[in-house]
Homo-oligomer: A and B are copies of this chain.
Amino acid sequence: MGMSEATEQAAPKTKRPTRAHRREEILAAATRVFGSKGYHQGSLVDVAAQVGITHAGVLHHFGSKDKLLWEVLEYRDRVDVQHLEGKHIPGGMDLFRHLVTTARLNADRRGIVQAYAVLTGESVTDGHPASSWVAHRFSVLRGEISQAVVELATERDVRLPDGEAERAAGSVIALMDGLQLQWLLDPDAVDLAEATRFAIESILTATLGSTVEITGS
């Protein structure tokens, strides 16, 4: 086996970072900045300083602050599912296991949770550039989760009242977002993973009419 496992351009000392690499650096920095200061309050100068360039350099790569935000949001999505081997969001009980696992991982990724919470909160302001992204994201998640609920109900021969799966899905999402908020403000008061597991189990148990347990993944 060779000792060079790097897939990058090999031997020559890269004086200049590649475009792709630099963009990733900036995205990571922007995630930190928007997470810790918010979108409006976090400036391009802040972002640029973190990668050692000027704010005009950031604009060279991303065109505008709005576009940078968009890419940050997509970047978060990529990071969010990168621990899944299958790269595919699972269904049925596996989906809920995945949600709890994500919560457990998130407890060690404060920055990204904070960015998500801040941007989601900010997005309900008038004309915010992230609002449609967040709304769309909620909509997709509600669809996926409610389908998983239907799957579980079918498995257990439970007939759900009309709209019950959607209500449960919305509740699960709300739960996770709300718990993250409380955890961010007081990490000692809330055990993110445990609280998430408890709450999702509660929703599922009440919805399906029989005890549901989410076993460790």
A interface residues (Cβ-Cβ under 8 A, vs B): 36-38, 40-41, 114, 117-118, 120-126, 131, 134-135, 138-139, 142, 167-168, 170-171, 173-179, 181-182, 184-186, 189-190, 194-195, 198-199, 201-203, 205-207
Copies of this chain, count? 2
Q: Is the CB of B123 within 8 A of A185?
A: yes
Picked from B41, B139, B206, the residue with its CB within 8 Å of the CB of A201 is: B206
Q: Is the interface of A mostly helix, strand, loop or mixed?
A: helix
Contacts of A139 in B (CB 8 A): 186, 189
Task: Give the interface centre of A120, A175, A190, A207 by most chain B CB atoms within 10 Å.
Answer: A175
State which of B124, B126, B167, B185 has its C-beta within 8 Å of the C-beta of A185: B124
Judge whether B121 and A185 touch: CB under 8 Å: no
Establish whether residues A174 and B167, one from each chain, have CB atoms under 8 Å apart when the complex forms.
Answer: no
| 10 A-B contacts (beta carbon < 8 Å) | A118-B122, A121-B181, A167-B199, A168-B198, A170-B182, A170-B189, A174-B178, A174-B179, A174-B181, A174-B199
- Chain B: minimal CB distance from A133 (Å): 10
**Contact for A182 among B138, B181, B185, CB less than 8 A:** B138
Contact A120 B121 (CB under 8 A): yes
Residues of B within 8 A of A135 (CB): 185-186
A69 nearest CB across to chain B (Å): 14
What is the CA–CA distance of A185 and B206 in the complex, to the nearest angstrom? 26
Residue pair A171, B40 in contact (C-beta under 8 Å): no
In the complex, chain B residues whose CB is within 8 Å of the CB of A131? 185
* Chain B: CB-nearest residue to A126: B36
Q: Which residues of B contact A178 (CB under 8 A)?
A: 173-178
Q: Kindly list the 6 A-B residue pairs having the minimum CB-CB distance in the complex, ordered from nearest.
A: A121-B121, A174-B178, A202-B206, A178-B178, A177-B178, A171-B199
Residues of B within 8 A of A126 (CB): 36-37
With a cutoff of 8 Å between Cβ atoms, the chain B residues found around residue A120 in the complex are: 121, 181
The CA-CA distance from A76 to B92 in the complex, in Å, is 41
Asked if residues B37 and A186 are in contact (CB atoms below 8 Å), the reply is: no
> In the complex, A88→B139 CA distance in Å?
38
